[in-house]
């Protein structure tokens, strides 16, 4: 069988089949058109080892001598004897290239074990690799499936590992360490992606950074339980992998049945982490459903009511808020939690998706009419997967609540511990699924709703249906719910919120239009959260709001310009009672909204760039568009610096041969917090009137920054002249 060589955007994927397996002999830099005979890659057989060459197959397996973590685990219970077919010998029977040479479908089979695995690999035009397997039970008895991993090899040059972790209100923070022998594992047992889940796992050459070094990075596109790992063997081989984490007996394949893995997305870059980001952005923006500037659907300025009114839903204050929002240029008004029956706090009401007649005697119509009358879209908060015990649906259908017991809690079954006073509705139960779909469909048919903020505020602990673990089925049922509502209401946009960033992954983003990166609107915290969320997700998919002057979640106080600059680099909005803003804050807020509207085509179509700064307290990031000859950058002082002056700052990613004018856009002397922003007697010479310099000069020399106070920022616009 001839090798298969996929090439795209500076990346090569080379598959060989000489061993009888599909072996990725190279994933990395483009190899060009002409390849040698791959027999030259056959290595030595060392002492105290198997007497055969051991391939690092697409499906690593013990039957080929692989001593690391296998791709497939499971067994068959035949004639009352468990453990049969525990070690398959899957060998390639076919490899067919498709999509004009961009993909390959590899079929592996072990007729004796009664198992077949089809592996689909696609190298997308921007260089992003997508890998998924489908396992089929071709035997005559049931097969208890335990794990099927998607695995990719990385070279020994990858000596450092970076991943992301976090918690509620502190999602997506980086951590890195040296690669060592053994298996490094990150496990997510939250029943959702998780606040601590790693959006990105990146292996790279020593000292790799934003703009330098080779990087091999993966993302696992699944919203349920999962594991991500890096396996380093004594042979020196290194494998980067991920798999769905299944509960005991959760997936049992009857004869003829199949299981498909979630997709593993992977990117190689010879230009540091920014090259990985570019590959992900190209893939996202090429999707037909992607909401961006090229589709003609601009990302509207949002006002969400949560941190403005919380559960205090009264029509008159909300009408005042809608009037104020329209007056400053808001384009989408979102009514958050508290509108449905019995929902005066978070103890009751979840599951009863009817407008509360006691609070809204005329329904939501008066507010919706006022909002749309101002030319704004109306959005609504929902949490369809959850239920309070104090709700009509829980009282009428106790068997719809998930738990470890085979019977409902009303019949003596045990429930999981509550989380925010709520439980999980069993969407694997067709009756429960139909009820939720019916209620959401009715809300969207009966009201002029353009947007759903879809929340999911708890982990799925002890998650079972009918006494069996069911996170797998719950996740698929939630996906079906999103898909069905999208099909019935294609013009309604949906946000994935999960107590902030608890469900951010490419599985949920196949069926939603943006994510809420964090419940924390503190601009300082958001700088890190947004930078690393946007390592994978383009900014038009990441909700970024200006919160109140003093943060609800951290009690920090920040000036309006710092909050506004932070929020501009995302899908911009506010979560704040803007009626209480001072005149000076209102003026800067209007300017920030105008800046967002002026620059959102750039922000939501350009390449994200992150400068490598010598001082950790200084962050410089931006978005550039070579075609437009334009860029927008933020210079951010995260903390006090050891030096009195910040020195010259690089603005990377621009066309080195073009000349640009650089101007400061926010804050300016027109803004009330301008004097708070700097500690200096006199600003740099260029700041008042701008500077005209080449792209090469801006990247390699840079401009002297003003002396920014800690937790302040400067917005710079760069335009070709």
What pairs with residue 129 in β-bridges? Answer: 123, 266
Helix (H) / strand (E) containing 198: none
Q: Are 150 and 266 in contact (CB under 8 A)?
A: no
Beta bridge pairs of residue 574:
303, 546
CB 41 within 8 A of CB 55: no
d(CA 333, CA 315): 14
Catalytic pick from 519, 522, 559, 577?
A: 519
Encode 161-197 in three state secondary structure: EEEEECCCCCCCEEEEEECCCEEEEEEECCCCCCCCC
Nearest CA-CA partner of 349 in 390, 382, 402, 314: 390
Active site annotation includes 519: yes
Closest CA to 678 of 706, 705, 703: 706
Residue 319: burial class (beta carbons within 10 Å; 0-12, 13-18, 19+):
middle
3-class SS at 84? strand
Residue recorded with tokens 């949560």: 306
Which tokens in the block code for residue 321? 């808020």
| CA-derived radius of gyration, the chain | 27
Is the bond leading into 709 cis (omega within 30 degrees of zero)? Answer: no
Instruction: Mark out the alpha helices in 294-447 (DSSP H runs).
Output: 306-309, 315-328, 365-373, 392-396, 430-446
Instruction: Specify whether the backbone of 441 is left (phi greater than 0), alpha (psi in -120 to 50) or beta.
Output: alpha
CA dihedral 250, 256, 261, 266 (to 10 degrees): 160
- Which residue, 8, 29, 7, 26, is CA-closest to 16? 26
Cα dihedral: 69, 71, 77, 83 (round 10): -20
- Compute CA distances 418 → 278, 389, 461, whole Å: 41, 10, 9
Q: What is the dihedral of CA 197, 200, 205, 208, to 10 degrees?
A: -100
Task: Kindly state the DSSP code that residue 410 receives in the 8-state scheme.
Answer: G
Per the annotation, the verdict on 345 as an active-site residue is no
Catalytic residue among 455, 459, 522, 577: 455
Maximum C-alpha span of the chain:
86
Q: DSSP state, 111? A: T
* CA 72 from centre of chain: 26
Rounded Cα distance between 108 and 88, Å, is 11
SS3 content of the chain, % helix, strand, coil (to 5): 20, 30, 45
Catalytic residues: 455, 519
């Amino acid at each position: 069988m001839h090798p298969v060589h996929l090439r795209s955007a500076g990346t090569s994927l080379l598959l060989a089949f000489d061993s009888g397996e599909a072996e990725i002999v190279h994933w990395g830099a483009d190899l060009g058109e002409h390849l040698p005979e791959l027999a030259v890659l056959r290595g030595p057989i060392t002492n105290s080892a198997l007497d055969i060459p051991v391939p690092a197959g697409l499906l690593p397996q013990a039957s080929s001598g692989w001593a690391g973590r296998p791709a497939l685990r499971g067994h068959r219970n035949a004639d009352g004897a468990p453990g049969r077919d525990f070690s398959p010998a899957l060998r390639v029977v076919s490899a067919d290239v498709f999509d004009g040479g961009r993909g390959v479908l590899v079929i592996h089979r072990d007729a004796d074990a009664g198992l077949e695995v089809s592996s689909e690999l696609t190298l997308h035009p921007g260089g992003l690799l997508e890998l998924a397997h489908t396992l089929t039970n071709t035997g005559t008895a049931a097969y208890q499936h335990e794990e099927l991993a998607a695995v990719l090899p990385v070279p020994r040059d990858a000596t450092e590992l970076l991943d992301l972790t976090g918690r509620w209100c502190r999602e997506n923070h980086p951590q890195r360490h040296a690669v060592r022998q053994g298996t490094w594992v990150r496990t997510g047992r939250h029943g959702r992606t998780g606040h601590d889940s790693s959006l990105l796992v990146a292996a790279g050459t020593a000292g790799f950074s934003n703009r330098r070094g080779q990087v091999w990075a993966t993302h696992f596109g699944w919203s349920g339980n999962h594991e991500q790992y890096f396996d380093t063997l004594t042979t020196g081989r290194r494998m980067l992998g991920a798999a769905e984490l299944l509960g005991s007996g959760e997936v049992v394949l009857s004869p003829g049945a199949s299981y498909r893995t979630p997709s593993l997305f992977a990117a190689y870059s010879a230009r540091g982490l920014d090259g990985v980001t570019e590959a992900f952005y190209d893939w996202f923006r090429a999707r037909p459903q992607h909401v961006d500037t090229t589709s003609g659907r601009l990302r509207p300025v949002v006002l969400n009511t949560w941190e403005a009114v919380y559960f205090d839903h009264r029509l008159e204050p909300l009408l005042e808020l809608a009037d104020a929002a329209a007056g400053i240029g808001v384009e989408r008004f979102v009514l958050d939690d508290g509108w449905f029956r019995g929902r005066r706090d978070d103890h009751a009401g979840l599951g009863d998706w009817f407008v509360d007649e006691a609070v809204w005697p005329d329904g939501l119509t008066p507010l919706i009419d006022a909002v749309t009358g101002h030319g704004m879209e109306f959005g609504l908060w929902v949490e369809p997967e959850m239920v309070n015990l104090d709700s009509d649906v829980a009282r009428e259908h106790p068997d719809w609540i998930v738990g470890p017991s085979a019977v409902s809690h009303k019949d003596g079954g045990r429930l999981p511990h509550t989380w925010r006073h709520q439980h999980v509705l069993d969407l694997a139960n067709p009756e429960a699924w139909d009820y939720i779909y019916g209620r959401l469909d009715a809300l969207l048919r009966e009201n002029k709703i353009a947007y759903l903020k879809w929340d999911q505020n708890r982990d799925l602990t002890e998650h079972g249906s009918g006494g069996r673990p069911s996170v797998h089925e719950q996740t698929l049922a939630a996906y079906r719910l999103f898909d069905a509502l999208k099909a019935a209401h294609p013009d309604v946009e949906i946000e994935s919120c999960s107590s902030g960033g608890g469900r951010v992954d490419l599985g949920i983003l196949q069926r939603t239009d943006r994510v809420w990166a964090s419940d924390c609107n503190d601009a300082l915290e958001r700088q890190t959260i947004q930078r690393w969320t946007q390592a994978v997700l383009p900014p038009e998919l990441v909700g970024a709001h200006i919160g109140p002057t003093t943060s609800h979640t951290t009690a920090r106080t920040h000036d309006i310009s710092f909050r506004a600059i932070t929020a501009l680099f995302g899908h911009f909005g506010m979560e704040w009672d803007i009626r209480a803003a001072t005149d000076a804050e209102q003026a800067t807020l209007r300017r920030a909204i105008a800046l967002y509207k002026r620059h959102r085509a750039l922000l939501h179509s350009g390449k994200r760039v992150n400068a490598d700064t010598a001082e950790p307290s200084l962050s410089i990031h931006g978005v550039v568009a070579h075609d437009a000859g334009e860029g927008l950058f933020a210079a951010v002082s995260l903390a006090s610096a050891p030096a009195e002056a910040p020195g010259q700052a690089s603005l990377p990613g621009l066309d080195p041969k073009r000349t640009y004018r650089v101007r400061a856009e926010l804050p300016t002397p027109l803004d009330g917090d301008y004097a708070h922003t700097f500690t200096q007697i006199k600003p740099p010479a260029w700041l008042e009137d701008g500077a005209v310099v080449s792209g090469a000069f801006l990247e390699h020399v840079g401009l002297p920054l003003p002396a920014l106070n800690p937790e302040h920022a400067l917005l710079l616009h760069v335009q070709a002249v």
